[in-house]
Structure 1
Amino acid sequence: MRVSGTRLLSDWRHVITQKLCLVLFLKVFAPALCQACPDPCQCNETAVRCENQGLFALPQAFPRDVKYILVTGNNISDLTNKSFPTVLEQLTKLLLPGNNIEQIGPEAFGKLPNLNFLDLSNNKLRMFSPEVFFSKKLMLNPSSNKSVYSSPQNDGNNTWQVVAVQVSTLNLSNNNLFFLDKTLLSLASLRLLDLRSNALKVLQNSTLAALSQCPDLQVLLAGNPWLCDCNIEDFLSWLRESDRVPDKFNLSCLSPKELQDVTLLQINRSELQCVFSSGMKGVLETSYVFLGMVLAFIGLIFLLVLYLNRKGIKRWLYNIRDACRDHMEGYHYRFEVSPDPRLDQLCMNSEA
Structure 2
Amino acid sequence: MRPLSTSRGCKRGGAYKSGMMHLLVLLALTLSCHCCPDRCLCSSQTVKCQNQDLDAIPSSFPTTTKIIFVTGNNISYINKDSFPIRLDMLTDLYLSGNELESVGAMVFENLPNLVRLDLSNNNIQAFSERALPVENTLQVLNLSRSFHNHSCMDAVLSVLQSGNLLMLKVLDLSNNDLVILPDDAFSSLSNLVNISLQNSTIISVLNGTLKVPPLRDLDLRDNSLRVLPTTTLAEFSLKPDLSLWLAGNPWRCDCFIEEMLLWLKNSTQVMDSQNLTCASPEALRHQPLLQVELSQLKCLGEMEGVLETSYVFLGLVLALIGVIFLLVLYLNRKGIKRWIYNIRDACRDHMEGYHYRYEINSDPRLANLSINSDV
What code does the residue aligned with 1:227 have? S
Q: Do the aligned partners of residues 264 and 72 (structure 1) sit closer, same or farther apart at CA in structure 2, a change above 3 Å counting? A: farther
SS, match of residue 56 in structure 2: coil
User: 1:168 deviation in Å?
Assistant: 0.5
SS, match of residue 171 in structure 2: strand
Q: Does the 8 Å CA contact 1:84/1:111 hold for their aligned counterparts?
A: yes
Structure 2 unaligned runs (5+)?
202-222, 253-278, 321-375
User: 1:127 deviation in Å?
Assistant: 6.5
The separation in 2 between residues aligned to 1:203 and 1:170, in whole angstroms, is: 18
- Give the counterpart of 2:249 among 250, 253, 262: 253
User: 1:263 deviation in Å?
Assistant: 9.4
- Give the counterpart of 2:175 among 191, 194, 197: 197
The answer to whether the aligner puts 1:174 opposite 2:145 as a matched pair is yes
Q: Does the 8 Å CA contact 1:126/1:176 hold for their aligned counterparts?
A: yes
SS, match of residue 131 in structure 2: helix
Aligned to 1:69: 68
Aligned to 1:293: none
The count of aligned residue pairs is 255
What code does the residue aligned with 1:228 have? L
Q: Do the aligned partners of residues 24 and 128 (structure 1) sit closer, same or farther apart at CA in structure 2, a change above 3 Å counting? A: closer
The separation in 2 between residues aligned to 1:17 and 1:265, in whole angstroms, is: 86
The answer to whether the aligner puts 1:214 opposite 2:190 as a matched pair is yes
The separation in 2 between residues aligned to 1:254 and 1:75, in whole angstroms, is: 37
User: 1:25 deviation in Å?
Assistant: 2.8
The answer to whether the aligner puts 1:237 opposite 2:233 as a matched pair is yes
Compare relative contact order (CA 8 Å, sep 6+) and give the higher one, 1 or 2: 1
The answer to whether the aligner puts 1:223 opposite 2:199 as a matched pair is yes
Q: Larger C-alpha radius of gyration, 1 or 2?
A: 1
SS, match of residue 61 in structure 1: coil
User: 1:242 deviation in Å?
Assistant: 6.4
User: 1:117 deviation in Å?
Assistant: 0.7
Q: Does the 8 Å CA contact 2:79/2:105 hold for their aligned counterparts?
A: yes
Deviates more, 1:252-261 or 1:111-120: 252-261
Q: Do the aligned partners of residues 93 and 237 (structure 1) sit closer, same or farther apart at CA in structure 2, a change above 3 Å counting? A: same
Q: Do the aligned partners of residues 13 and 172 (structure 1) sit closer, same or farther apart at CA in structure 2, a change above 3 Å counting? A: same
Within-5 A mapping of 1:1-352: 2-125=1-124, 128=127, 130-134=129-133, 163-176=134-147, 178=150, 179=153, 181=157, 183-185=159-161, 186=163, 187-207=165-185, 210=187, 214=190, 216-225=192-201, 226-228=223-225, 233=229, 236-237=232-233, 240-241=236-237, 248-253=244-249, 258=280
User: 1:234 deviation in Å?
Assistant: 6.8
User: 1:250 deviation in Å?
Assistant: 4.1
User: 1:11 deviation in Å?
Assistant: 1.1
Q: Give the TM-score normalised by the residue count of structure 1.
A: 0.59
The separation in 2 between residues aligned to 1:118 and 1:265, in whole angstroms, is: 39
SS, match of residue 56 in structure 1: coil
The separation in 1 between residues aligned to 2:32 and 2:91, in whole angstroms, is: 23
The separation in 2 between residues aligned to 1:189 and 1:217, in whole angstroms, is: 11
Q: Do the aligned partners of residues 74 and 4 (structure 1) sit closer, same or farther apart at CA in structure 2, a change above 3 Å counting? A: same
Q: Give the TM-score normalised by the residue count of structure 2.
A: 0.55
Q: Do the aligned partners of residues 264 and 273 (structure 1) sit closer, same or farther apart at CA in structure 2, a change above 3 Å counting? A: farther
User: 1:236 deviation in Å?
Assistant: 4.9
Aligned to 2:351: none
User: 1:56 deviation in Å?
Assistant: 1.2
User: 1:191 deviation in Å?
Assistant: 0.5
> Sequence identity of aligned pairs in percent?
28
Over aligned residue pairs, what C-alpha RMSD do you find?
A: 4.3
What code does the residue aligned with 2:173 have? L
